Structure 1
Amino acid sequence: MIVQDMMNKQPVTARPETTIMETLLTLRKHRIRHLPIIVDDGSLAGIISDRDLRDASPSIFDAADHADKFERPVSEIMVRDVITAHPLDFAEDLLSIFYEHQIGCIPVLEQEKLVGVITERDMLYTLIQLTGAHQPSSHLEVKVENIAGQLADVASLIKKFKININSVLVYPSKQDDSQKILVLRIGTMNPYRIASELRQNGYDVIWPQEPEVGQ
């Protein structure tokens, strides 16, 4: 999945001369936590977050004595060195950026103009879609050798049951570098018969676990 398929294409924005108070009210009105700051030609000048505004605002106990601080332009406190993305960037690349830089919003630029924003909430929903967890399905985990063709072989066994595979994730085994874990979401609420078939064919099925005798 690429950024343009999951970004907000009509982001709320502010201008550098917008006051801190106006920016606060905009965030509250739209229930958002980040606001890109743009100039006349649509170029990105910076970004401001609710945390930046809290840090720059006077204490509620001193607000009356420092009301003038709320009239300062947001350009005085906005972040100017902004991490950005392109509409054709891949979702998994942005996941790494969000994690490594501990940020909550990334403006999306095309030809240096703001065309959208993507937030950590957008990324979380994208992860839900990529894993297939938003559809009625079951979770299946299979440990396989780290050699070509293992995923195709497992999929072939599942195909015998005429059940769709909604999503597939692959990650290395923590115990053995020569093995990988296949994590599949399959289109059935009863994965046990598929798990049984896989075990009969020699696969190490991590989940679902085998029912105890008598159950």
Structure 2
Amino acid sequence: MIVEQIMKKDVITLTKTDTLETAIHKLKEFHIRHLPVINEDRHVIGMITDRDMKQASPSIFEESKRSRFLTRSVESIMKKDVVYAHPLDFVEEISAVFYEHGIGCLPVVQHQKLIGILTKTDLLRTFVKLTGADQPGSQIEIKVNDITKSLADISSLCQRLQVKILSVLVYPHDDSGAKVLVFRVKTMNPLPFLQELQKNGHLIVWPSEHRDQL
């Protein structure tokens, strides 16, 4: 999956000459937390977040300072070192960018022009769908040493038992060299499937409470 499939295309923006009062109004009106700052060519020249506004804002008890604050330009507090995404970037790789930079939003740029925006919420929603967590089902985790062989064997078993696979993930096991295959299957009673898995020599990591019952 790539960024352009999940990004928002209707982006609310600011210019560097807009006032901070305008920025606050847009954040509240559109219920958003991030505002890209663009120039006349739609090049991204900065970013403002609700956190930036809170940090820069004077105390509510300093009325005179607050009035001056609201008339300041966006340029005075915007972050100029902006990290971008490209519409053809893979969602998984962009997730690492969010994590590494500790950011909550990425403007999406193509040919140096702003064409969309991607937030942590968009990513979370996407991963929920990719993992099948938004559908009723059961999660089964199996320790494997040969991913390719185990995946083929378990897929064949699912086909024979008519168990629908919603998603498959892989993550490292504590044992060096081993992996954990995570299947989300469309059944609310996975016990028959778990029994067949164990009969076929597969080591079940989860559901842990069933391991002694099989």
TM category (shorter chain) comes to: over 0.9
Matched, 1:35 2:32: no
Partner of 2:166: 166
SS at match of 1:92: helix
Partner of 2:130: 130
Number of aligned positions between the proteins = 212
Mapped partners of 1:49, 1:121: distance in 2: 15
Partner of 1:189: 188
Mapped partners of 2:38, 2:161: distance in 1: 54
Partner of 1:100: 100
Partner of 2:14: 14
Partner of 1:71: 71
For the 8 Å contact 2:147–2:179, the answer to whether it is kept is: no
Partner of 2:203: 204
SS at match of 1:148: helix
Aligned-CA RMSD value = 1.4
Mapped partners of 1:147, 1:189: distance in 2: 25
SS at match of 1:158: helix
Mapped partners of 1:63, 1:117: distance in 2: 35
Runs of 4+ in 1 over 3 A off after TM superposition: none
1:35-86 per-residue CA deviation (whole Å, 9 max, x = no partner) reads 0111111111111001111111111110334411210110111111101000
Gaps of 5+ in 2: none
- Tell me the amino acid that sits aligned with residue 193 of structure 1: P
SS at match of 2:155: helix
TM, length-normalised to structure 2: 0.94
TM, length-normalised to structure 1: 0.94
Partner of 1:140: 140
Mapped partners of 1:190, 1:90: distance in 2: 35
Partner of 2:5: 5
- Tell me the amino acid that sits aligned with residue 180 of structure 1: K
1:107-166 per-residue CA deviation (whole Å, 9 max, x = no partner) reads 000101001000011111111011110112111111111353221111111111112211
Q: Could you tell me how far 1:212 is from its partner in structure 2?
A: 6.4
- Tell me the amino acid that sits aligned with residue 195 of structure 2: S
Partner of 2:115: 115
For the 8 Å contact 1:146–1:178, the answer to whether it is kept is: no
- Tell me the amino acid that sits aligned with residue 94 of structure 1: I
Matched, 1:177 2:200: no
**Alignment map for 1:37-52 (pairs within 5 Å):** 37-52=37-52
Mapped partners of 1:212, 1:177: distance in 2: 25
- Tell me the amino acid that sits aligned with residue 60 of structure 2: I
- Tell me the amino acid that sits aligned with residue 17 of structure 1: T
